[in-house]
Structures are given as structure tokens and as C-alpha cells.
């Protein structure tokens, strides 16, 4: 049952809430919040909203037009599991206070429009999404950048580099590089912490399917959520990140969704499972390759065609391309296959029931803004269906073992954020259909990424360049 404003007020009263935390997302994809005392929340709040300064939010308004509104979504109400005083949390959408229209740069509005556009096409009425957001839990992180110096250093009690450290006592059981997948405790030191995360996720209504240590040496983890409709899952992923980070914080540790924090070990991806349904029936099941329907294969074709442009949204940081490197663990080759994890798109075969037919897009990473990423992949898939884009033949070989000659005909993901932004600049018409993405949103995204992230990284020397070039 979807909660109404009156239900939210009842929840707050029964829980003894003293504060209301109003959350919304900035353009790059990080939750922002402002809090008000509980007496300020009444049924009219869900129409009138609350004011804030949009010029102080990344990717939002200029200072001369800074006044904005957040209007809470009653259906998102949850009690915050971490605050000392009972706090009601509401996810909000952003509105213009003058026109009372949804704000075009609000990523949540983009996701809503993507769901509506899908229905308008008549192809389907629901896009189910299931992301697998990997993350690292570290014990310590330090970094700095000045005019004349730069460094970073991270540490974990599980780290392979700590076999010789004096830990008074060092009890061993360090995880060798790339051997972190599934060892039992005491090698896996984080099982209890992940279980606490799972319990808190359940507490805010998020169903969890599995929890385990991931491949990398030091603290890499995965907790998978059960699939949900697109907008709902984007909301859940923000809760997921919040709970993972705060549970680690309260345990004296630190969690990060940065794609590639460790050199020489696996990075964190976010494989995204997707399927279309209509009238309660799955549309990706059929008698084609890997039991897929023609619609599913065309959807794959659309994602493959637009993958270089999608990368600017699904892999939106300079650090994303430390993970997306040819010949290493990330799937950079744009091919599809059943079961084959070396393909950029995979058709999972754990369950052969029609309801389980889905496409797993493996190149995204968890640094993305989920509202924009899920919407963009759906729009690419819709373009594939509408234009009957042939995905080509599946590639069932181990792509990592192919010869250069065999690989020459396989398209690849961009090798840098610069390349990805250029691809988006050249290929974004498919995103504009149905006014889902606007030209302003795309232009602002590209400009922000170039000016605030790409160029600042370009301008700064990194320590390894001194190793390579200082004696030139």
C-alpha cells in the first residue's frame, strides 16, 4: 500500500519523530539534505514543499535564480536507522517555486519521465532494475593534493600488504590479491558488518538476496538487492549507499563506492540487471538465443550501439577508467553472451523461468547517478527495440583469451572520461525522446564533468609520473 501524507504523519507520531530529514540528489549523484522540526510537517507540506538555495547544489541553479523547492514523496517515508533522535526521512523531488513545475535538472524527474515514456511507447509498462553495487570497506584513508605534492594511502586489516605489519599480534589470514571471493571468516573479517548492513536495509524496506566478500584483497564487498521498478530502485540505491557508509562509519571503518581505489586488484563495478514487463507479464522471455525474445535482443542492440555515449553517465568519473582497461577484469568489449562474464552484456542463466529472463549490463560502476544511469540505459534499449537494432552474433568465447585479430571486430568502451563525454556529445538524440533528458541536462552534465572533474585531474601531476619521468 502506497503511503499517503496522513499515513506519514501517523508513522512519525508513532515513532516519536522529532525531526524530518528532507533528501534530494544533486546532478553528479550524491544525496543532499535539509532538516526541519517535526511540527513543520503537515499534510500541506506534500504540496507546498520547503525552500532551499539551489545555487549551492552541484549542477543546479545560478545565484541569480537560486530559490528552489523540495517537495517530499509520501511513499518514500522511512525512519532513519542511525540518528540519535528519532528522525523521519523523506525523499524529495525538486520544483521551481515560481512555475510550480518539476525542475528539469532534478535527476529524479528524469527517471520519472523515463518510466512515463516507456508507457507512452506502448512497448511495456514497467522496467525492472537490479543493480549489484560493489564497494570497499577500509580501516583508514588519507589523501592530499597541494601545489608541490600529492599522495593517497588506504589501509585494511585484510590487505595483502599487511602480512609483515606489527599488529601486536598479527594473526595472519590476509587476503591475497584477487583472492577475496568467498573465503570464510576469519579471512573474511567483514561478515558481521555486512550482516548489520543487511538488517538495516531490511529495516527500511529493501529486500536483500545475497551478501558476500568480493574479489579484491582488502575489504571489497557486495550486497545485492532484489529488483524493483526503475524509479523505486534508484531511490533504494541511494538508501543502500547511505546505510553502507553509515554502518561502516559507526563501526570505526570507512566505505567507498569509488570504482578503482586499489592498484593491481579488482575495482568495483555495478552490474545492472534489466527487463521489461507489460500487464504483469515478462517480455524478455522467448525462443531466441539464451531463451530471449526478439524484443530483448533488440534492447541489447540498442545498449551496445549507444554504450560509448552511455559511458559518460554510467561510468562518469576519471577513476571509472582505471577500472575500464582492456585486458583486465572489467568488461570493455561490447559483446553479449549467456553466462559469459567477460562480455559487457550477459544473460544470466541461474534460473530458466520466463520471469527470470533479463539482460545484465556489466560496464556501469557505482559512482554513477542511478536516476540518470537507469533512465539512459532504458532509453538506449527502447531505441534498440523501436529501430530493431541487431546486436550481432553472441560471443560465447572467453573474450580475454581472444587474439588481437579476433578482437579487432569487437567494439569497445571508451578508454577515458574525455572519450565518453565526446561520445555523449555526438550521440544523445535517443535520450531526448519524450523529453526524458533535455538538451540543457546533457549540456550541463558534460560541462560540469569537464570543468569540475576532467580538467582538474588533467592539470595535476600524479606520483607515478615522477617515477617515470623525473630523470628525463
List active site positions: 53, 132, 134, 214, 222, 271, 341, 360, 362
Q: Which residues pair with 137 in a beta bridge?
A: 255
Buried b (16+ CB within 10 A) or exposed e, 399-408: beebeeeebe
Tell me if the bond preceding 116 is cis, omega within 30° of 0.
no
CA angle at 346 for the pair 376 and 275, rounded to the nearest 5°: 50
Contacts 24+ apart (CB under 8 A), 407-413: 407/333, 410/333, 410/334, 410/335, 411/304, 411/307, 411/333, 411/334, 412/326, 412/332, 412/333, 412/334, 413/307, 413/308, 413/311, 413/315, 413/324, 413/332, 413/333, 413/334, 413/344, 413/363
The residues pairing with 144 across neighbouring beta strands, listed in sequence order, are 151
What is the distance between the alpha carbons of residues 377 and 383, in angstroms, rounded to a whole number? Answer: 10
Bond before 169 cis per omega within 30 degrees: yes
Q: Is the dihedral of CA 361, 116, 108, 78 positive or negative?
A: negative
| Cell numbers representing residue 242 in the block | 547511505
For 209, the grid coordinates are 538476496
Give the other-Cβ count within 10 Å of 189's Cβ.
Answer: 19
The DSSP call for residue 398 is -
Contact 319, 260 (CB under 8 A): yes
First CA to last CA distance, the chain: 68
CA gap 238, 33 in Å, rounded: 12
> By 3-state DSSP, what share of the chain in percent is helix, strand and coil, each rounded to 5?
40, 20, 40
Is residue 103 within 8 A of residue 34, CB to CB? The reply is: no
Q: Are 83 and 18 in contact (CB under 8 A)?
A: no
Amino acid at each position: 500500500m502506497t503511503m499517503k501524507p496522513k499515513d506519514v504523519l501517523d508513522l512519525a507520531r508513532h515513532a516519536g519523530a522529532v525531526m524530518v530529514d528532507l533528501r534530494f540528489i544533486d546532478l553528479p549523484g550524491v544525496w543532499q539534505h535539509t532538516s526541519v522540526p517535526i511540527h513543520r510537517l503537515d499534510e500541506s507540506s506534500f504540496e507546498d514543499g520547503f525552500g532551499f538555495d539551489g545555487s549551492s547544489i552541484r549542477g543546479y541553479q545560478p545565484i541569480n535564480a537560486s530559490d528552489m523547492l523540495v517537495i517530499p514523496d509520501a511513499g518514500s517515508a522511512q525512519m532513519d536507522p542511525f540518528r540519535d533522535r528519532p528522525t523521519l526521512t523523506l525523499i524529495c523531488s525538486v520544483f521551481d517555486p515560481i512555475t510550480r513545475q518539476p525542475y528539469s535538472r532534478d535527476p529524479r524527474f528524469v527517471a520519472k519521465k523515463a518510466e512515463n515514456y516507456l508507457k507512452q511507447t506502448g512497448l511495456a509498462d514497467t522496467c525492472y532494475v537490479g543493480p549489484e553495487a560493489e564497494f570497499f570497506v577500509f580501516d583508514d584513508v588519507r589523501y592530499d593534493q597541494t601545489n608541490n605534492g600529492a599522495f593517497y594511502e588506504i589501509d585494511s586489516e585484510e590487505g595483502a600488504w599487511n602480512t609483515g605489519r606489527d599488529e601486536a599480534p598479527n594473526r595472519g589470514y590476509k587476503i591475497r590479491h584477487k583472492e577475496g571471493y568467498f573465503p570464510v571468516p576469519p579471512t573474511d573479517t567483514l561478515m558481521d558488518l555486512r550482516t548489520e548492513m543487511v538488517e538495516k536495509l531490511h529495516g527500511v524496506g529493501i529486500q536483500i538476496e545475497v551478501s558476500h566478500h568480493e574479489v579484491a584483497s582488502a575489504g571489497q564487498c557486495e550486497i545485492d538487492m532484489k529488483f524493483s521498478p526503475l524509479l523505486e530502485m534508484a531511490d533504494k540505491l541511494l538508501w543502500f549507499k547511505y546505510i553502507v557508509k553509515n554502518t561502516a562509519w559507526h563501526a570505526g571503518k570507512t566505505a567507498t563506492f569509488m570504482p578503482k581505489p586499489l592498484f593491481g586488484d579488482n575495482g568495483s563495478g555495478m552490474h545492472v540487471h534489466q527487463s521489461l514487463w507489460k500487464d504483469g507479464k515478462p517480455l524478455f522471455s522467448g525462443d531466441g538465443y539464451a531463451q530471449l525474445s526478439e524484443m530483448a535482443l533488440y534492447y541489447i542492440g540498442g545498449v551496445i550501439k549507444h554504450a560509448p555515449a552511455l559511458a559518460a553517465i554510467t561510468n562518469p568519473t576519471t577513476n571509472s577508467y582505471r577500472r575500464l582497461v582492456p585486458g583486465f577484469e572489467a568488461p570493455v568489449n561490447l559483446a553479449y553472451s549467456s553466462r559469459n562474464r567477460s562480455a559487457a552484456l550477459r544473460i544470466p542463466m541461474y534460473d530458466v523461468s520466463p520471469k527470470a529472463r533479463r539482460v545484465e549490463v556489466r560496464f556501469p560502476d557505482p559512482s554513477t547517478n542511478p536516476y540518470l544511469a537507469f533512465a539512459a540505459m532504458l532509453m538506449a534499449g527502447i531505441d534498440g527495440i523501436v529501430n530493431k537494432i541487431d546486436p550481432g552474433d553472441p560471443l560465447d568465447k572467453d573474450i580475454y583469451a581472444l587474439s588481437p585479430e579476433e578482437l579487432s571486430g569487437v567494439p569497445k568502451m571508451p578508454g577515458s572520461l574525455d572519450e565518453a563525454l565526446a561520445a555523449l556529445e555526438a550521440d544523445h538524440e535517443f535520450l531526448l525522446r519524450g523529453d526524458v533528458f533535455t538538451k540543457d541536462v546533457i549540456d550541463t552534465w558534460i560541462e560540469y564533468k569537464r570543468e569540475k572533474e576532467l580538467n582538474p585531474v588533467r592539470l595535476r601531476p600524479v606520483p607515478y609520473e615522477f617515477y617515470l619521468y623525473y630523470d628525463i
